[in-house]
Chains A and B, each alone.
Chain A
Amino acid sequence: MRRALQVVPALWSVLAALVVSVILLALAGAPPFRALGLVLDGAVGDGGRMADTLMSWVPLTLAAAGLVVTFVAGLWNIGVEGQVIAGAIGATWAARTIPGEGFVVIPAALAAGVAAGALWALAAGVLKTRGGVNEIFGGLGLGFVAQSLATYLIIGPWKRAGIASTSGTEPFREEVWLPTVGGTRLSPVAVILALAAIAVVWALLRGTRFGLRLKAVGANPASARLLGVPTEATILRAFALGGGMAGLAGAVLATGIQHKLVPAIAGGRGFLAILVVLLAAYRIVWVVPIALFFAILSVGSAQLQLRLDLDSSIGGVLQGILVLFVILIGGWQALHRRDAEEP
């Protein structure tokens, strides 16, 4: 019953966001409904576009699944963007240095991505539990470090032969690219990994003692400690797990999409994942459609530039409006519920 009520604000928000988006598009001089149609067509119009949308969905979903773990534990893991970058760096390192066939190197690269993302998140976790640094600030700081490290590697130790350019490292050998199907950019392995991440987080939160401890620490650390929950260990594990999934997102970006390390490898997907999780109200199942919706907006809005000469950032604007409305309507309802309870 309570859950059903919680979905209603999401519907209202989508409606309100659509209305505002239509007005914005009209103000920008575009026929609004045609523009929305173009977005949809650009995202799912043919097999290739659907493949692109799915491949945009995968890293977003992976990062969001990891964020659900940390958010449930009450940890504002804003450093997720840096953890995606760290994962991409780790995967790039493995892809460049480990010799051999794809079926050896690819799993190694993905594992290196997971490890790097987990380490990056653990750094934020240890800063929080041992250094008293709020994870928001620690995460943001570490994000800048990861970004700078990627840029340094690209123009320094991993520069292309002869030229140091921010356009990226030398592409990986083709054997270490994530295998694709049907002449599209779709990698079944990537999709399976994203679905597996969803399943893992779902099972973790639903059926395990660790999941229960995460919820307890997130809702009330003082009570959780009195109840015998090892709060510090739980917090660090949440960070490691969440960061590992973000790192996997980075590894997929490096080995499955870019096939090299570029400075903007994360491209704001970590931050976008935060919005996905906020919209999903930390419920893992809702991450799947919401991330898909965001992927459609991201991929499809490229069409607005091609066909209507609108800047493709309009897609980001639409996503932002949607999130603002969800938070606004959710917050407004909570405010009124409180007023009703405390006359």
Chain B
Amino acid sequence: MLELRGITKRFGPVVANDGIDLDVPPGSLHAVLGENGAGKSTLMKILSGFLPPDAGRIRLDGHEVPTGSPRAALRAGIGMLHQDPLVCLPFTALDNFILGREGKIDRAAARGELREVCARFDFDIDPDARARSLSVGERQQLEIARLLSLGVKVLILDEPTSGISSEQRTKLFSALRTLAGEGLIVLFVSHKLEEVEELCDTVTVIRAGRVVGERALPCPADELVELMFGDLVVSSARPPVEIGAPALRVSGLAAGTGRQAITGVDLEVRAGEVVGLAGLEGSGQRTLLRVLAGLEPARAGHVEIDGCSLDGSSYEGFVSAGVHYLPAGRLEEGLVPGLTIAEHLTLAARLSDWVVDWDAARSRAEEAIEHFRIKGGPDTPADALSGGNQQRLLLAMMPEDLRVLLMEHPTRGLDIESADYVWTRLLARRDSGTAIVFSSADLDELVGYADRVVVFFSGKVLADLPAAALTADRLGTLIGGKVAS
């Protein structure tokens, strides 16, 4: 029996896990379901010792499991298969398999053991192949074999089916069923309803860091969708928008590699139109936005802004065509830690002056601070600002005339007031004829602000629908990859 009691974890102001309790009996195939950012991965990382909790206890078969140490968790019998399997790429499969064992290393015995596990579950791993040459699915099989050989009693799988073939998926599921039949606890973390329904016996739904429900499966899909996303308030009070000529036209676009790859993407966005990109994290939205910003090359297809082709153009070419990109990682790829607000605005002004007039720059910064209601002064470093104020600074740094504005998670991590403010600003841009394309994991935001929602699944456009025609159920199931409902 696995028991979690009161697991709580905060990241700054964000409560990722808020007093989570969970009981899972041996032999369970138990799903942990929730939308992006609900706190599933955090919970699993705490359970596997990867992150220390702020509060809470873990017990397995009546014994206290020490928290905050993957080694201690493994010793207690809890092993985790991470979304990106944590194998050492330069090592062979066998070396990876041995890694983490204590005491003397017997390579011959380990080789036999690996062969045995592979034969048992029909895994196809060459012990002497470099991990680098293995596919994601094979790396996953290797990790499962390793964790089993370390004697885990709880096997956690975090989104194990993204990026693996359907054959590997079938093998994975049958292996998990066998293992559960032998009394192992399998915790299956996902936001794909279909898989959870197919594989698991029981499910715990997490929303905003709390457990919002437990169900035995099968159970009606609507019920799970409602648990996952809550009640969706669709605002129909959208003012009619003057929509102009096509500002952005994408045809047959292919780009990115591996999990991030997109293929055959067609999209047209008109001036003054807002298009939301929905989908699971890593379904291709980010790759599309980065290609449209000129930060990643396209493998095939065409991109046009105002009818002018930008194929093969550099980032600077996209910028001068009137494209602006606001990335999700504000401090990672939008702002420069250590530089002040005045310095940021000066950089963003893209002037070609040699000597900077800092008095003028400071007074410009003060204007922007007042205009965008940033809590800080001209000399406040960007990394000392809260997330909301960082986003306001990024808005203040946007050029005046924009044709296309691209955004990733425009309000992620922001409080309601900041999020509203950000959208007020963005809609003002829309009203002046800027085409806006944004990705979001927040269904309220997608339905509430977009004129059209484009749903991505596995690097392809699954649906392109007017937001007014969308309901919570429909969007939720689409995101999970089900077209018909």
Contacts and interface: CB of A to CB of B under 8 A. Distances in A.
A220 B335 CA distance: 8
Given A207-B355, A223-B333, A228-B316, A216 B339 contact: yes
Given A215-B336, A219-B336, A223-B334, A229 B347 contact: yes
B355 A208 contact: yes
B351 A209 contact: yes
A293 interface: no
Nearest to B293: A226
A228 B314 CA distance: 12
Residue of B315, B336, B350, B358 with most chain A CB atoms under a 10 A cut-off: B336
Interface residues of B, number: 30
Interface in A220-265: 220, 222-229
Contacts of A210: 354
Interface in A163-213: 207-210, 212-213
B417 interface: no
A232 to B, nearest CB: 12
A226 B316 contact: no
A282 to B, nearest CB: 11
B296 to A, nearest CB: 12
B337 A219 contact: yes
Given A208-B356, A209-B353, A209-B356, A226 B347 contact: no
A201 to B, nearest CB: 15
B346 interface: yes
Nearest to B10: A343
A212 B334 contact: no
Interface in B102-117: none
Contact of B333 (A207, A226, A228, A229): A226
Contact of A224 (B336, B354, B358): B336
Residue of A219, A227, A343 with most chain B CB atoms under a 10 A cut-off: A227
Contacts of A229: 347
Residue of A207, A209, A222, A343 with most chain B CB atoms under a 10 A cut-off: A209
A212 B342 CA distance: 11
Given A215-B339, A223-B335, A228 B347 contact: yes
Contacts of A216: 336, 339, 343, 347
Nearest to A225: B315
Please classify how large the interface on chain A is, using the bins under 10, 10 to 19, 20 to 34, 35 or more.
Answer: 10 to 19
A227 B382 CA distance: 14
B337 A212 contact: no
A208 B327 CA distance: 27
A212 B319 contact: no
Interface in B308-335: 315-316, 319, 325, 327, 331-335
A300 to B, nearest CB: 37
A208 B351 CA distance: 12
B354 A209 contact: yes
B350 A228 contact: yes
B338 interface: yes
Contacts of A219: 336-339
Interface string B288-315: 0000000100000000000000000001
A208 B356 CA distance: 5
Contact of B325 (A208, A224, A226, A343): A226
Nearest to A224: B336
B54 interface: yes
Given A207-B355, A208-B356, A222 B332 contact: yes
Residue of B332, B338, B339, B343 with most chain A CB atoms under a 10 A cut-off: B339
A224 B358 CA distance: 19
Contacts of B355: 207-209
B348 interface: yes
A228 to B, nearest CB: 5
B324 to A, nearest CB: 9
Top 8 A-B pairs ranked by shortest CB distance? A222-B333, A220-B336, A228-B350, A219-B336, A219-B338, A216-B336, A223-B336, A227-B347
26 contacts: A207-B355, A208-B354, A209-B346, A212-B339, A212-B343, A212-B346, A215-B336, A215-B343, A216-B347, A219-B337, A219-B338, A219-B339, A220-B331, A222-B332, A223-B331, A223-B335, A224-B347, A225-B315, A226-B327, A226-B334, A227-B336, A227-B348, A228-B316, A228-B347, A228-B350, A343-B54
Interface of A: 207-210, 212-213, 215-216, 219-220, 222-229, 343
Given A219-B336, A219-B338, A222-B332, 18 more contacts: A207-B356, A208-B354, A208-B355, A209-B354, A209-B356, A210-B354, A212-B343, A212-B347, A213-B347, A215-B343, A216-B343, A219-B337, A220-B333, A222-B333, A223-B332, A223-B333, A224-B336, A228-B316
